[in-house]
Amino acid sequence: MDRKPMTLHRLREMHASGEKIAMLTCYDASFAAVLDAAGVDALLVGDSLGMVLQGRSSTLAVSMEAMEYHVRCVARGNRTAWLIADLPFGSYLAPETALNNAVRLMQAGAQMIKLEGGGWTAPIVALMVERGIPVCAHLGFTPQSVHALGGYRVQGRGESAAATLRREALELVQAGAAMVLVEMVPADLAAGLARELAVPTIGIGAGAACAGQVLVLYDMLGLHPTGAPRFVRNFLTDGLGISGAIREYVAAVKGGRFPDDAVHAF
């Protein structure tokens, strides 16, 4: 039976009922159609495309034009999944600039905009929400700040760092963020956020207690020539094929079998 298009209301219902949200990154129309047919709830057109598609060492050089192009491609292939798009580095330094660039991505086909960081981003989130743009906040390890953070390091360790992350998450939700993605933070910290926040938390390297999970598509298919983070599982095994691997990922997230905190927690 054909599923109905995913909406923000439906995502909130899933969160309220305890149904896990399965999300994957996506960058083109063909994969969008495959992921949608496999039951993925949300597609993230991430600026990770700078690394997995463009071969760069970080996400920092990804342009608004590249993001618009890939959002359009994914929107053409997708029918029912919720479509989230990243604002790339340097595209949301001021509220009005952020709003204008968010509008560009929404007009390209996005249904929600994701941006990294807390504190200074709360007024930007409030402005976008006020203007009718759903926002996903991204905390913990934020790839656009890789140099400031000293590399690919777990965030939120220690009482002070954890308190700052909690405060920023609450501020962002109060500003109107409808979802919070937490990356590479200790599982107990992510579990606390999942309990405390009124919106879904989506984890990546953040333990099993989050309301949902996201992985880079290429990582979960084993296509990571430089090596995958230890929280990644290769689902393209046992002769499943790509569609089967994606279906297994969805089933593992929804069934609580991925991630395994004993294996993947920091």
**What's the distance, CA 229 to chain centroid?**
16
Neighbour tally for 181: CB within 10 Å: 25
Cα 177 from Cα 172, distance rounded (Å): 6
- Alpha carbon 207 to its chain centroid, in Å, reads 14
Annotation marks residue 183 as catalytic: yes
Q: Is 264 a residue whose pLDDT tops 60? A: no
Task: Give the confidence band of 113 by pLDDT, cuts at 50, 70, 90.
Answer: very high
- CA–CA gap between residue 102 and residue 107 (Å, rounded): 9
- What is 8-264's CATH number? 3.20.20.60
Q: Which two tokens stand for residue 184?
A: 């590479």
pLDDT (mean) for 203-223: 96
Per-residue pLDDT at 263: 61
**Token pair listed for 117:** 């960081």
User: Does the model's pTM come out above 0.75?
Assistant: yes
DSSP structure class, residue 264: H
Q: Which residues pair with 24 in a beta bridge?
A: 43, 215
Of 68, 168, 171, 183, the active-site residue reads 183
pLDDT tens digits for 168-209? Answer: 999 999 999 999 999 999 999 999 999 999 999 999 999 999
Q: What are the structural domain ranges in the chain?
A: 8-264
Measured over all CA atoms, what is the biggest interatomic distance in the chain, rounded to whole angstroms?
A: 49
